[in-house]
Structure 1
Amino acid sequence: MDSVSIVLILLLAVVVSGAVARMVPVSLPAPLVQILLGAGIGLSTSYRVDLDPELFLLLFLPPLLFLDGWRIPKDALLKDVATVVELALGLVLMTIVGMGVFIHWMIPAMPLAVAFALAAVVSPTDPIAVSAIASRVPIPKRMMHILEGESLLNDASGLVCLRFAIAAALTGTFSAGAAALNFVWVAGAGLLIGVAVTLVVSRAKAWVTARWGEDTGSQILVSLLIPFGSYLLAEHLHASGILAAVSAGVTMTFAEISRQAMAVTRMRRNSVWDTIQFSLNGIIFVVLGEQLPAILAGSTRTVAITGHASPWWLGAYVLAIVAGLAALRFAWVWVSLRLTILRKQNRGAVATSPGWRLIAAMSFAGVRGAITLAGVLTIPLVLNDGTPFPARDLAIFLAAGVIIVSLLLASVALPVLLKGLTMPPEPSKQAEEDAARVAAAEAAIRAIEERQHALAEDHGEADRYATAGTRVMDLYRERIESRSQGLSDATRAEEKLVREFRLVGVKAERGTILDLVRAQRIGSETARKLTRELDLSELRHRG
């Protein structure tokens, strides 16, 4: 019962954190609120979360990384793939080597392998935390796409490097050649397993659906099981379960294109995944807060590992690590952007030099979050010989401190830097959208005409089918006429007003239905059906 109570308390804290984050007048990101609530739980209740590193890794990382890979805009990622790879791989490797050596030099009591493990877990960034921080100051789309792509890849690269660092700490040996060969297998096999699992499951699901129909609940459950299946199979084969989950998510996008699910399945599945993402990310930060009292209570023992007596040294180490991470990131972002400009100039394109605010915003956006915490908590409790893992508590303390300080710094700096910041102009996608709408409308008209003729041949009464079909086709013809010549600014403004009026009407309809339910003039089933239709209409007009 205690385990069930803990889970329910954590979920309640996640729910409350979202409300509190919206209530406070200052722009306080939800992750910080969740950490504070978790700390309150740890101080005020007798419940404690006993974390099993392997179980924690299995429950939290595969679905989060799978969803990141599934939802990231692939075209936007490919457009800036060079910049993303430079940040996600080059910066991660430089961070692990540079910060690993720096941490070991600063804290000689921490073995070099453990220092590299700590550097590996603080190297991945968390775009969800950035979105929460900048929710009141919109992030330029291209910048957010770069951050999402960087996070997707550096989560995998950082955690794979963590695996090697922990292996070195457990065995006491490290061979660069053997590590390189092992990395090829771990990474390559992990990627292939994720792709294979997703394709096999998608084909099997499509085969069953084609013969016996589609069950929405089963489809959603299958999508939830794919990341766990990919992860467990890869780990069983001594490959990277992390990369398997990422590649499974990326492959899911292309599998869905060729094997479309029903609209109701997609809508319900998106809702389920949104809830899972919100819950898991929130629980991770609440757990961090819940662990803080115990971590701080043991700070005296932890700081003794470093050879000092005052716990304030731990704060100094955290600030030094954050400063080192920020300096490395600022330098790498500047170099990366300069290389991007040089590549464009070599191709004859005009490229403007980025301003310092853009570089600073990209640097402060490197917030550490859920992946860092999940990674550091997977450090084993003991070595192979049964002795305690060296400096494990110190690594967890420093990683937690880096998360909190980076969140606080970004909360202050990002809104200031992002206010009024514009990325280099992007070509408009309006023409692409208009062409797609016209092509879709023309295909709809052809399909309706074919259906009209088929019904007339089978049942007669051609006039009745023609009248009904013409009413629908007129709507598509209006879309073709309006989009073929392009829309003027005045027409677009009018369309915006039409959508606004439609939303006003939907709101009035919904209010009337609620009044009818309260007056018991319609039943709950009718109300639910009409409300569902209004919800779909509202989503359409808001889109």
Structure 2
Amino acid sequence: MNTVFLILLLIAATIVANAIYTRFKLFPVAFLQIAAGLILSLFPIYRHFELEPEIFMLVIISMLMFNDGQNTNIIKLARHFRTTFSLAVELAIVSILIIGAVTHLLIPSFSLALAFALGAIIVPTDPVAVSSITSKVLVPKNVMGTLENESLFNDASGIVALNLAIAAIVTGKFSIWHGIGYFLYVFFGGIIIGAILGSIIITVRLRFIRHHVDTPSVMVPYTLMTPFVVYLIAEAVGVSGILAVVVTGLLHGVQQDRLRLTSSRLQIVMTSTWQIFSSILNGIVFVLLGLSLPRVVADLHNRDTGSVVILLSVGILLYLLMTLLRFFWVQLGFARIRFENSPHKVMNNLVTALSGVHGTITLSLAFSLPLTLNGHPFTYRNDLIFIAAVVILTSLIVPTIVLPLILPAKVIKYSPVELSSAKSEMVTNAIDNLNARYETSPTLSQVINILDGQRTIEKRADRTQLTNIFDHCFTIESDTINQMLEDKQISQKNADLYMQIAKKTIYQYQQNGGQRLIWFLKFRLSPRFSHSRRARKFRQFRRQINSKDPNHQQSHSVWEKVQRAEQKPYQVIIQYLNERSHDKNDLKISREELLKQTNSVWQKVQQVEQKPYHAVIKYLNESYNDKNAQEISIVRRAYDERHRRLNNQQNDGEQQNELLIEAFQYEYTFIQTQASANKYNSALSNALYEQISTDQLVYVQSVGTE
């Protein structure tokens, strides 16, 4: 239970860091996550926290690599396979050997095997990390594509090399030929096992779909379990579980593309689930770095006061060495990257070198180092973790400073404010068109309330404006009732009954506390609206009726109506019954008479309510605009809810669906018109189209489950 609590805190810290990043993007999200980890390290509960290396590899690395694989375009990967192989395998091996040799020279206490282990840890690159630091600059597309493809396989190269180095450390022996043979077996064996297992898993998945067993509750867990199963089987066979997971992810991505429209609901759920898992797992790794750094530094400082400075210098030097290796590897043509419409070869190659940011996988490999070797504590484990942390931080800081100086700023295609404004215009246009055609439709208000949900809510409702709208609606009701009295359409008694309900509505939805108090006192102190004595009398009457009718068969409909009306207009029934009674025997009224009188009250209220309700809705529709949309929506919902309660109405689902479909079509047409007039650019138009498509899908699915 304690471990579960600690992991939940890690997830919570990741969520908080991500939330802060959405509002303040001055720093890469990785820095915020590391800061969250540093804060957690202050808690005593994390003083001796250790995540088992095997669990780290299985739960975090395998999931991340599978997700990277399924999001990779296999056609582009095949087209640029030569470049990918050169960077991910050839450059990775060369870098590991050079870094290992340099590290051994700088720190003689590190054996060659240990130095090679360090090289295997810090070589893998992380395109997710580079994306977070290049959000404001325009990185060439081919660079990002190359980094994504490279990260799929240089991670596996690093993991295989790390396993070889750890084996050499444990046994104290290392054979070059044995190492090469083992590398080839593990590397290509992982690819083969991944292809076999991936094909089997995809075949089973297709059978699920053909037999209509493709609900999210089945397919999402099935897909989430895939990397675990593949990794465990591959490791049991003795090949690279990570490479097997990557290949399975690639095959899964191909199948996803072919079935993209098979089940839209499933695709949306699957994509969202993996995005969330990937974001959380990436964040947890950086939170763990921040959590572990203070303890690692303290251990190093206690062992040797100068070791921290030495290791810090080594980490920075190794980062510079890897960056130079990447630059000259591309510059000398070992890996060819085509830069479209850009003649500055040296500058582009420098961008490629600086974009080799190290992140999640490097940290994961560092944390996956065994805690013990041959039954004894791994002496230099903290040293390797610290150097890896220095390399990661340096690789994040340097590009953050340098890339904006050598790359053009990213052109913002549209701002959040522009998107919000466009959504509002789109919804307003659709509502105006519906009002023009279906002004008298009883379902129109419900549809308008649904459409209002498409807007981006950026502020709370204006209380003053909301109060003014409610007051104006009340005035419209009063004027309508007075006109009905003058035309002798209703009696004074029925008019008074209705106005009590109208005033109760205003009180119920007042947003200002002072206004609610004023209306409360008005109802309590005014003789016209005081009903506490009558309420007690009515409750006494109800108990007497129940005692005479234990089964409540004849009185059931009465209480059902009272319960429905109890929030707002129930005092109407009380007042009506008391006006019909003038002596102490008024509680002896028969059940039949009660049913008759109550039904009569409801019918009168319903008849009176129709005209003022439609007058209010007409005013709200005519007053509707972008500036008061939120306030109008609140008022409309209040009156719609009261109207449904008084009339015991259910939503007309069929007509509502028809109106919504028509509204969505109005929105599509509006966007096309704005785009043709060059008022919306293509990016903004596509964002709005995506909004409508998603809203349609969500609505259709919600209706289908009712």
2-structure distance, mates of 1:150, 1:314: 28
Give the count of matched residue pairs: 453
Match among 313, 316, 321 for residue 318 of structure 2: 321
Which string of whole-angstrom CA distances, capped at 9 and with x for unpartnered residues, describes residues 226-249 of structure 1? 111110000011111010111010
Partner of 1:369: 359
Listed as ranges, the matches of 1:68-83 within 5 Å are 68-83=68-83
Q: Measure, in 1, the Cα distance between the counterparts of 2:72 and 2:86.
A: 18
> Which residue of 1 is the match for residue 690 of structure 2?
538
Q: 2:249 matched to which residue of 1? A: 249
Whole-angstrom distance in 2 between the partners of 1:524 and 1:91: 65
**2: distance between equivalents of 1:419 and 1:380?**
44
Aligned pair partner of 2:383 in 388, 394, 401? 394
Q: CA–CA distance in 2 between the matches of 1:104 and 1:498?
A: 55
Q: Which residue of 2 aligns with 1:272?
A: 273
What pairs up with 1:43-442 in 2 under 5 angstroms?
43-48=42-47, 49-257=49-257, 261-301=262-302, 304=304, 309=306, 311-336=308-333, 354-384=344-374, 386-419=375-408
Distance 1:44 1:389 in 2: 26
What whole-Å deviation, never above 9, does each CA across 1:21-50 have from its counterpart, x for those lacking one? 344463x10011111110111024533431
Give, in angstroms, the shift of residue 309 of structure 1.
3.4
Cα separation, 1, equivalents of 2:145 and 2:651:
43
Q: Distance in 2 between matches of 1:356 and 1:183?
A: 34
1:360-399: CA deviation from partner (whole Å, max 9, x where unpaired):
2111111110100111111112223x12224221111111
Distance 1:381 1:540, change over 3 A: same
1:37 match? 36
Residues 103, 301 of structure 1: CA spacing in aligned structure 2 closer, same or farther, 3 A cutoff? farther
Question: Does the CA-based 8 Å contact 2:82-2:335 persist in structure 1?
Answer: no
In structure 1, distance between residues paired with 2:399 and 2:377: 35
What is the alpha-carbon root mean square deviation over aligned residues? 3.3
Q: Residues of 2 paired with 1:91 and 1:381: CA distance? A: 29
Matches of 2:320 and 2:39, distance apart in 1? 29
Contact 2:143-2:337 within 8 A present in 1 as well: no
Q: Secondary structure, in 3 states, of the residue corresponding to 1:136?
A: coil
Q: Given that residues 104 and 115 in structure 1 are in contact (C-alpha distance below 8 angstroms), is that contact kept between their aligned partners in structure 2?
A: yes
* Post-superposition CA distance 1:198-231 (Å, at most 9, x none): 2112212222332354222211111111111110
- Structure 1: which 5+ runs fail to align? 345-349, 423-496
Could you say if the C-alpha distance between residues 269 and 334 of structure 1 is closer, same or farther in structure 2, counting changes exceeding 3 Å?
A: same
Higher relative contact order (CA closer than 8 Å, sequence separation 6+):
1
Q: Percent identity?
A: 32
> Which has the higher Rg, Structure 1 or Structure 2?
2
Post-superposition offset of 1:275: 0.1
CA–CA separation in structure 1 for the residues paired with 2:7 and 2:651: 32
2:426 aligned to which of 505, 518, 532: 505
Local SS of the residue matching 2:373: coil
TM-score where L is the length of structure 1: 0.76
Return the TM-score normalized by structure 2.
Answer: 0.59
Matches within 5 A, 1:463-474: none
Query: Does the 8 Å CA contact 2:127/2:148 hold for their aligned counterparts?
Result: yes
Per the TM alignment, residue 6 of structure 1 is displaced from its structure 2 partner at its CA by 1.5
Deviation (angstroms), 1:13 = 1.3
Moved more, 163-172 or 4-13: 4-13
Cα displacement string for residues 476-510 of structure 1 (whole angstroms, at most 9, x for unaligned residues): xxxxxxxxxxxxxxxxxxxxx99996784248866
Unmatched 5+ stretches in structure 2: 412-417, 432-447, 454-629, 642-649, 668-686, 695-706
Pairs within 5 Å for 1:426-505: 504-505=425-426
Once the two structures are overlaid, the 10-residue window that deviates more, 129-138 or 205-214, is: 205-214
Distance 1:23 1:205, change over 3 A: closer
Conserved in 2, the CA contact under 8 Å of 1:206 and 1:259? no
Q: 1:136 to 1:421 in 2, by over 3 A?
A: closer
Residues 370 and 378 of structure 2 are in contact (CA less than 8 Å); yes or no, is this contact kept in structure 1?
Answer: yes
